[in-house]
């Protein structure tokens, strides 16, 4: 059966564990200079409708390191952006490549790709989910804290990154509190899915309350790709939710995550991102190892 990765809860807890273990192994193998060619002669097709630094480069590099190849297909490079239906693209690419990664606006488009593709489809970010990011986030938390119990506070917009992260925490039984302005909280769908996984997040509108008992504080931009026309409204709605030294003084030992790209001076200060407590560049590097773990699991 072809497995897809449209969101993190496409995996069971045991499968997520397997992917994370593979990722950690690939990371240490790369450190030792002995990455095995586990995806030799495999090709990854990469459909991207939005810009990307980390996701694009980590997938391409990950395929190279594992002995395979990636083909980047921007919207203007193929017929998809010029009227060819997604379902035709899905079936055509399935005849050429071994897996497809796609970064699209509507989550329904990833689901349609998965419905028609005969090879694994991987969500490289939609408006609703960013499960590949969650893999790297969980890998970073695990390598920082080992097996001890960890409390995480998400502060800001309960966006695509937060939604997949909340489900990932539920799968791994990580204690999560999500602090957002009232109108930007996690929606019922995510709360129900996290609940059915047995470990739903706490929610609050008070960032100070959320960070007070946190080992890790995580944030993302207030204005995601495609929301640029809401900029003024959002900047004022998220006032008080910035990760700055004052908020973090309530959690003196807490580490900081950000999926990047960051808008310094908006959701996070330059000082915090450059501080000793920041894990963001380890987190960014872990995208590479997480992609390798996922691809090897999907294509095995």
Query: Which of 171, 143, 167, 121 minimizes the C-alpha distance to 16?
Result: 171
Q: Which is nearer to ligand CP, 55 or 151 (CB)?
A: 55
* 259 catalytically annotated: yes
Residue of 58, 224, 278, 283 interacting with ligand NVA (CB under 6 A): 224
Q: Which does 221 bind (CB under 5 to 8 A by kind): ligand CP, ligand NVA, none?
A: ligand NVA
By CB under 6 A, tell whether 125 contacts ligand CP. Answer: yes
Q: Which is nearer to ligand CP, 176 or 259 (CB)?
A: 259
- By CB under 6 A, what part of segment 111-130 binds ligand NVA? 125
By CB under 6 A, tell whether 259 contacts ligand CP. Answer: yes
Distances (CA, A) of 128 to 124, 183, 189, 259: 11, 16, 11, 15
By CB under 6 A, tell whether 296 contacts ligand CP. Answer: no
Minimum distance between the CB of residue 8 and ligand NVA, rounded to whole angstroms? 15
Residue of 49, 134, 160, 291 interacting with ligand NVA (CB under 6 A): 160
Query: Which of 110, 93, 152 minimizes the C-alpha distance to 10?
Result: 110
Q: Which of 98, 259, 283, 291 is labelled catalytic?
A: 259
Query: Which of 105, 101, 94 minimizes the C-alpha distance to 122?
Result: 101
Query: Which of 8, 4, 42 minimizes the C-alpha distance to 199?
Result: 8
Residue 47, sorted as left (phi over 0), alpha (psi -120 to 50) or beta, turns out to be beta
Cis peptide bond upstream of 261, omega within 30: yes
The pair phi, psi for residue 100, each rounded to 5°, is -125, 130
CA distance 200 to 176: 8
Minimum distance between the CB of residue 20 and ligand CP, rounded to whole angstroms? 18
Residue of 13, 43, 52, 92 interacting with ligand CP (CB under 6 A): 52
Q: Which of 107, 163, 287, 289 is labelled catalytic?
A: 287
- Contact of 120 with 298, CB cutoff 8 Å: yes
Q: Which is nearer to ligand CP, 119 or 129 (CB)?
A: 129
* 29 catalytically annotated: no
CA distance 290 to 265: 29
- By CB under 6 A, what part of segment 17-76 binds ligand NVA? none
- Contact of 269 with 262, CB cutoff 8 Å: no
The contact mask relative to ligand NVA for 255-274 (x = CB under 6 A, - = no) is ----x---------------
Q: Which does 237 bind (CB under 5 to 8 A by kind): ligand CP, ligand NVA, none?
A: none
By CB under 6 A, tell whether 55 contacts ligand CP. Answer: yes
For 75-222, strand residue ranges (E) read 99-103, 121-123, 151-155, 175-179, 202-204, 216-219
Residues within the interface to ligand NVA (CB under 6 A): 125, 159-161, 220-221, 224-225, 259
Residues within the interface to ligand CP (CB under 6 A): 52-55, 125, 133, 259-261
So which residues are the catalytic ones?
A: 103, 130, 133, 220, 259, 287
């Amino acid at each position: 059966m072809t497995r897809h990765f449209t969101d993190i809860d496409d995996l069971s807890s045991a499968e997520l564990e397997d992917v994370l273990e593979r990722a950690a192994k690939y990371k240490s193998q790369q450190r030792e200079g002995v990455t095995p060619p586990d995806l030799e002669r495999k090709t990854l097709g990469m459909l991207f409708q939005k810009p990307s630094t980390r996701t694009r480069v980590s997938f391409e590099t990950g395929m190279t390191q594992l002995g395979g190849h990636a083909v980047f297909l921007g919207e203007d490079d193929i017929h998809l952006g010029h009227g060819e239906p997604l379902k035709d693209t899905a079936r055509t690419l399935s005849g050429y490549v071994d897996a497809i990664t796609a970064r699209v606006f509507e989550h329904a488009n990833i689901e349609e790709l998965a419905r028609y593709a005969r090879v694994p489809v991987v969500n490289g970010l939609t408006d609703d989910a960013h499960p590949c990011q969650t893999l790297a986030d969980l890998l970073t938390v695990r390598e920082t804290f080992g097996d001890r119990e960890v409390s995480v506070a998400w502060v800001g917009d309960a966006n695509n990154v937060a939604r997949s992260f909340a489900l990932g925490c539920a799968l791994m039984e990580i204690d999560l509190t999500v602090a957002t302005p009232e109108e930007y909280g996690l929606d019922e769908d995510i709360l129900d899915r996290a609940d059915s996984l047995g470990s739903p997040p706490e929610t609050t509108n008070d960032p100070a309350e959320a960070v007070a008992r946190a080992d890790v504080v995580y944030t993302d931009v207030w204005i995601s790709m495609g929301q640029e026309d809401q900029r003024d409204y959002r900047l004022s709605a998220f006032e008080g939710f910035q990760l700055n030294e004052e908020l973090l003084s309530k959690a003196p030992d807490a580490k900081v995550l950000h999926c990047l790209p960051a808008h310094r001076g908006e959701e996070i200060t330059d000082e915090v991102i450059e501080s000793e407590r920041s894990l963001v560049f380890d987190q960014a590097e872990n995208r590479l190892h997480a992609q390798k773990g996922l691809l090897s699991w999907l294509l095995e």
